[in-house]
Amino acid sequence: MTKNDEAWERLFERYEILEEVNKNGFFKIEASQINQERESRLMAKFDHVVNLPKIFRDNNLSILPLYKLKYLKLIETILAHEVFNRAFYLSLETGDIPSKEQVTNIMSECNLNITIQQ
């Protein structure tokens, strides 16, 4: 187990992260909270899925930076999201990145009501 694995295990226990994710679908954590264990820039940077801490891999979690000092733990990886999958397959079919309009249409078909700012 790596130092990051051990530090994340302590953070998950201290802040009851899994319980919050199961209840709310996400957990927000401040960089200052992560820094209690190890430097947040080292703890929250994962270039590849294989670099995720064990507790993230075991619970199908990922991390998304909200802005410089905050991070969001997601209950599902982006790959499991229907909109992402449909947009991804559209890109494979067409060879192009889907436009904002195409993604908005996919989101509408998935009953995700959003407002796109111009």
The domain tally of the chain equals 2
Note the Cα 118 to chain centre separation in Å.
25
**Is residue 69 over pLDDT 70?**
no
Residues 27 and 73 in one domain: yes
SS3 state of residue 29: strand
Q: Which two tokens stand for residue 30?
A: 């401040």
Residues 44 and 19 in one domain: yes
Residue 24: CB atoms within 10 A of its CB come to: 10
Assigned domain for 117 exists: no
**Is residue 28 over pLDDT 50?**
yes
Asked if residues 73 and 55 have their Cβ atoms less than 8 Å apart, the reply is no
Residues 48 and 102 in one domain: no
Task: Look at the pTM and tell me if it is higher than 0.75.
Answer: no
Give the residue numbers spanning the domain of 94: 81-109
Assigned domain for 105 exists: yes
Asked if residues 29 and 73 have their Cβ atoms less than 8 Å apart, the reply is yes
Residues 104 and 68 in one domain: no
- Which pLDDT belongs to residue 5? 94
